[in-house]
Amino acid sequence: MRILLLSLSLLLAACQHPTTTNDALALYPELTATGIAPISSQPGETLELREQQAMRAARLEAYRELAEQIYGVHVNSQSEVESLSLNQDKYTSDVKGLVKGAEIIRIYPVGDNYVAELRLDYHKAMLLKQQLVKPSPKKSVYY
């Protein structure tokens, strides 16, 4: 009887799935980004137009933040020293990439700003990326 219980418990333990949900979350994280844009500094003659521009700018800023998380940021730095004194210090940053599959969680006003919140399920983004890669057509072979 003990041998039967032992063999049954070993058999059931061998049937356990090797990956857990925590491993799946580590492989495919959910990225979030927030963009903020002021309303009063937007171009436009009416308040409605400035609000619309601020919503768009906040959304684009959130997309930029997502691209930074996915692709990283290229940073350039230039410093000028004269007579052992820092004369000029200049930094520029650049991010390039295609963000597909991001969802707008919400866009809402906070004081004189609009805030946009975006979410990107990395697993969904990887599936969309795989759909972009189309198999090459097979060439006909004649003998």
Where along the chain do its domains lie? 32-72+98-130
> What integer is the mean pLDDT of 135-142?
68
Residues 6+ apart with CB under 8 A from 61: 35, 36, 37, 116
Predicted confidence (pLDDT) per residue in 36-59, tens digit: 999 999 998 999 999 999 999 999
- First-to-last CA distance in the chain? 68
Residue 110 has pLDDT above 70, yes or no: yes
Mean pLDDT along residues 24-44: 86
